[in-house]
Structure 1
Amino acid sequence: MTKTESNIILFSITLCWASSYIFIKNLPPELSAFAYLTMTAGLASIILLIVFFKRLRDFNSKILLRSAAMAAILCVNLIFEKMGIAAIPASTASFIASLNIVIVPLLLLFFRKRPSRNNLLGILIILSGLALSSGVKPGQPLEAGMLYMLSACFLMAVYIICTDRFTKDHDPLLLGVGQMFFTAILSFILWSLQEPKTFLLVNYSNTLLANIFMLAFFSKAYAYIMLMYSQKYASPLSVTVIASTEPIVTMVLAVLIPGTFGVNESFTIIKLAGAVLIAAGAVCAGTDFLNKKEEKPLAGNSASL
Structure 2
Amino acid sequence: MSNLVFFFSGEITVIANLLLLLTAAVWGFGFVAQSLGMDHLAPFMFNSLRFFIGALSLLPLIWYFANKKTLLVGQKKSLLIASISAGSVLFIAASLQQVGLQYTSAANAGFITGLYIVIVPVLGLILKHQTGVNTWIGCAIAVVGLYFLSIKDDMSIGYGDLLQLIGAVFWAIHILIIDHFAKKHSPILLSHLQFIFCGLLSITVSMMIETTVVANIGLAWAALAYSGIISVGVGYTLQVVAQKNAHPAHVAIILSLETVFAAIGGIVILGETLDARAILGCGLMLMGILVSQIPLRYFVKSWGQQKHPTV
Aligned residue among 119, 126, 133 for 1:110: 126
Counterpart CA distance in 2 for 1:98 and 1:246 is 8
* Cα distance in 1 for residues equivalent to 2:100 and 2:85: 23
Of 150, 156, 159, which aligns to 2:165? 150
When residues 124 and 8 of structure 1 are mapped into structure 2, their CA distance, relative to the original with a 3 A threshold, is: farther
CA contact (8 A) 2:82 2:190 kept: yes
- Between the aligned partners of 1:5 and 1:121, the Cα distance in structure 2 is 31
* Structure 1 SS opposite 2:112: helix
Inter-partner Cα distance in structure 2 for 1:190 and 1:279: 34
Select 1:81's aligned residue among 75, 94, 97.
Answer: 97
> Using a 3 Å threshold, how does the CA distance of structure 1 residues 12 and 124 change in structure 2: closer, same or farther?
farther
Q: Check if 1:266 corresponds to 2:278.
A: no
State the partner residue of 1:41.
51
Question: 1:244/1:49 Cα in 2 relative to 1: closer, same or farther (>3 Å)?
Answer: closer
Q: How does 1:13-52 map to 2 (within 5 A)?
A: 13-29=23-39, 31-52=41-62
Structure 1 residue 100, shift from structure 2 partner? 2.5
1:64 aligns with one of 64, 77, 80 = 80
Higher mean displacement: 274-283 or 17-26? 274-283
Partner letter of residue 124 of structure 2? L
For 1:1-305, list aligned pairs within 5 A: 11-29=21-39, 31-53=41-63, 59=73, 60-61=75-76, 62-129=78-145, 131-132=147-148, 134=149, 136-137=151-152, 139-194=154-209, 201-204=213-216, 207-224=219-236, 244-257=256-269, 262=270, 264-266=271-273, 277=284, 280-290=287-297, 293=300
Is the contact between residue 81 and residue 152 of structure 1 (CA under 8 Å) also seen in structure 2? yes
**Distance apart, 1:157 and its partner CA:** 0.9
Cα distance change of structure 1 residues 230 and 183 upon mapping to structure 2, 3 Å threshold: farther
> How many aligned residue pairs are there?
288
Query: How high is the TM-score relative to the length of structure 2?
Result: 0.73
**CA displacement, residues 212-253 of structure 1 (integer Å, 9 cap, x when unaligned):** 101111222334566678899999998766554333222222
Matched residue SS, 1:187: helix
Aligned letter for 2:48?
Answer: T
- Going from structure 1 to structure 2, the CA distance change for 1:239 and 1:76 (only over 3 Å counts) comes to farther
Q: Deviations over 1:253-296 (max 9, x none)?
A: 22222xxxx3x1235666665565555545544433447749x9
Q: Secondary structure in 2 aligned to 1:204?
A: helix
Q: Which moved more, 1:181-190 or 1:68-77?
A: 181-190
**Structure 1 unaligned residues grouped into runs of 5+:** 298-305
Shift of 1:110: 0.8
For 1:214, what is the secondary structure of its paired residue?
Answer: helix
Alpha-carbon contact 1:47-1:221 (below 8 Å) kept: yes
Could you tell me which amino acid in structure 1 is paired with residue 266 of structure 2? A
Preserved CA contact (<8 Å) 1:167 1:229: no
Deviation, 1:78, is: 0.8
Amino acid at match of 2:180: R
2:111–2:260 contact (8 Å) kept in structure 1: no
Q: 1:81 to 1:274 in 2, by over 3 A?
A: closer
Q: Which moved more, 1:90-99 or 1:210-219?
A: 90-99
Give the Å deviation of 1:74.
0.6
* Identity, % of aligned positions: 22
Partners of 1:54 and 1:227 in 2: how far apart?
16
RMSD: 3.9
- CA distance, structure 2, for counterparts of residue 15 and residue 90 of structure 1: 14
Counterpart residue type for residue 167 of structure 1: A
Q: Quick one: structure 1 residues 233 and 280, their matched pair in 2 at CA, closer, same or farther if it must change by over 3 Å?
A: same
* Offset from partner CA, 1:103-139 (integer Å, 9 cap, x none): 323211112223223333334344445555x364464
Structure 2 SS opposite 1:203: helix
